[in-house]
Amino acid sequence: MPSFPDHPLRYDLANELHARPFPAIRHASQAAIIALKPERNAAARDRELDRAHLLALLDRHGAQHPKPGATHYTGQIGRYQLKWEQHTEFVTYMVFGEGLSDRAFDSQIWDVFPEDWMAAAPGLRVTSAHFRIDEGGDEDQAIAADVADWFVHESLAVSRVLDGAAIIASDFRIDPAGHMRFALFPARSTGPARIGRIIQRLCEIETYKAMAMLGFPRARSLNARMAEIDSGLSDLLRDMTSEESPADDQLHQLLGYATALENLMSRSAFRFGATGAYEAIVHQRIEVLREERFLGRQTFSEFMLRRFDPAMRTVKSTESRLRSMTDRAFRAGELLRTKVEVGRSAQNQALLESMDRRAALQLRLQETVEGLSVVAISYYAVSLLGYLLAPVASEFGIEKPWVTAALVLPVVLGVALMTRRIRKMVH
């Protein structure tokens, strides 16, 4: 069998597809998840702090450590299974184990996270959720009674998922303990692997929903500043049609608006981009659940349509408006540049006309000087020739004034021709 040379990352990339298996969760169990994110610069955080925080928890329970540089981990801590994952901006801790108490959402499972350990976390809680997995086999009316007792009616969402494999319910509200609540009622025939996949999907829906919502307050905070810039930019464009305001002042104002817009764009680009990606994941995770309506209740997708999607549309609208304003500032810069160039062309044209007038005056002056030069040269030439020819003329009885008079015309003509020839040679 032929052997081909492998790319050095071939096995790592293939194994990555299987590196994060779904948990296997049985009936009558509980699960809890918490997502932690640094308040600022989360994407560029020191990821070793995340791993150090994980190791501190594992040491509390005497659990085995993950490999150095690991971005995910699954292991046993006490009576629970722990699943830890490191993401671009946040980390998640998920614990699950068998056993239900008489209270629907007993807080005992949260004892796995000590308070002092949570206080030392290298990030803040973005969300946390408590999951109750029922024993299964309940009738629809009994399930309806339970969810009516556990959740707030106004925001309650309930649906049958995965072709009747389970019923899921939540009101997406934070309970007095500080957690979201989700209830899962699996059919008796639903196995631990499928229950684990459903819980994993619910964890992702809640986590990515919370992360996506971080873009909403950013969008609202930008709207006031954008309105101020938009008003100033509109006034500037209106002033550009007038000749009263100097172009230099307009250029200074435009530079300020363009700088402010670019600053807003750079500060919000990552958050808005991440919000769009998280929103897509939320809808994709809900879609794969294949929801069916349960006793006329709203489904998870309908809840997101009414409560989550408007916030996402606000983020998208703000991002689109910011880009549009940045484009407007760019176009205004092009218009102002054209206006300045037209003004400069007019100035250059006036300067050229002035230079033409000066050149014409200089030419006339030069011609005048040349005429005077012909007269002066002719005068001196006639005088010299007169002195030279006077002795000869006296021999023939011709007086000097007659000699001078006879020399004037040929001398002047000769000097004029010579001056003209020299001027042609120069030009």
Strands 91-98 and 180-186: unpaired
Residue 1 has pLDDT above 60, yes or no: no
Strands 180-186 and 124-133: parallel
User: What is the pLDDT at residue 5?
Assistant: 83
Residue 185 has pLDDT above 80, yes or no: yes
Q: Is residue 13 part of a domain?
A: no
User: What is the pLDDT at residue 17?
Assistant: 67
236 and 312 belong to one structural domain: yes
Amino acid making up residue 59: D
User: What is the pLDDT at residue 229?
Assistant: 83
* pLDDT > 70 in the chain, percent: 80
DSSP states along 33-82: EEEEE-SS-GGGS-HHHHHHHHHHHHHHHTPPPPPTT-SEEEEEETTEEE
231 and 309 belong to one structural domain: yes
68 and 189 belong to one structural domain: yes
pLDDT in tens, 192-235: 999 999 999 999 999 999 999 999 999 998 888 888 888 877 77
147 and 256 belong to one structural domain: no
190 and 67 belong to one structural domain: yes
Q: How confident is the model at residue 20 (pLDDT cuts 50, 70, 90)?
A: low
Which residue is associated with the tokens 């996402």? 312
CB 274 within 8 A of CB 215: yes
d(CA 239, CA 146): 66
d(CA 131, CA 33): 8
d(CA 394, CA 87): 124
Chain-centre distance for alpha carbon 263: 10
58 and 184 belong to one structural domain: yes
Q: CB under 8 Å, gap of 24 or more: what pairs does 212-217 form?
A: 212/274, 212/275, 212/278, 212/279, 212/282, 212/308, 212/312, 213/308, 213/311, 214/126, 214/271, 214/274, 214/275, 215/271, 215/272, 215/274, 215/275, 215/312, 215/315, 216/275, 216/311, 216/312, 216/314, 216/315
Q: Is residue 145 part of a domain?
A: yes
Q: Could you list the residue range(s) of the whole structural domain that residue 406 is in?
A: 364-426
Q: How confident is the model at residue 122 (pLDDT cuts 50, 70, 90)?
A: very high
DSSP states along 72-88: EEEEEETTEEEEEEE-S
* pLDDT > 90 in the chain, percent: 52
344 and 272 belong to one structural domain: yes
Q: Which residue has the higher pLDDT, 166 or 339?
A: 166
User: What average pLDDT score do residues 333-344 get?
Assistant: 68
Pick the last residue of a domain from 180, 207, 234.
207
163 and 288 belong to one structural domain: no
User: What average pLDDT score do residues 40-69 get?
Assistant: 92
* Integer angstrom CA distances of residue 318 from 36, 230, 283, 311, 325: 27, 13, 21, 11, 10
Q: How confident is the model at residue 340 (pLDDT cuts 50, 70, 90)?
A: low
Residue 339 has pLDDT above 90, yes or no: no
Largest distance between two CA atoms of the chain: 159
Q: How confident is the model at residue 18 (pLDDT cuts 50, 70, 90)?
A: low
User: What average pLDDT score do residues 150-158 get?
Assistant: 95
User: What average pLDDT score do residues 115-126 get?
Assistant: 95
153 and 45 belong to one structural domain: yes
Pick the last residue of a domain from 290, 316, 351.
351
User: What is the pLDDT at residue 301?
Assistant: 96
Q: Is residue 404 part of a domain?
A: yes
Q: Is residue 32 part of a domain?
A: yes
R_g of the chain computed on alpha carbons: 45
Q: How many domains does the chain have?
A: 3
User: What is the pLDDT at residue 246?
Assistant: 63
CATH code of the domain covering residue 310: 1.20.58
Residue 377 has pLDDT above 80, yes or no: no
Which residue is associated with the tokens 């998870």? 300
Strand partners, 239: none
User: What is the pLDDT at residue 236?
Assistant: 74
Q: 293 — phi, psi (to 5°)?
A: -65, 140
This prediction's pTM: 0.77
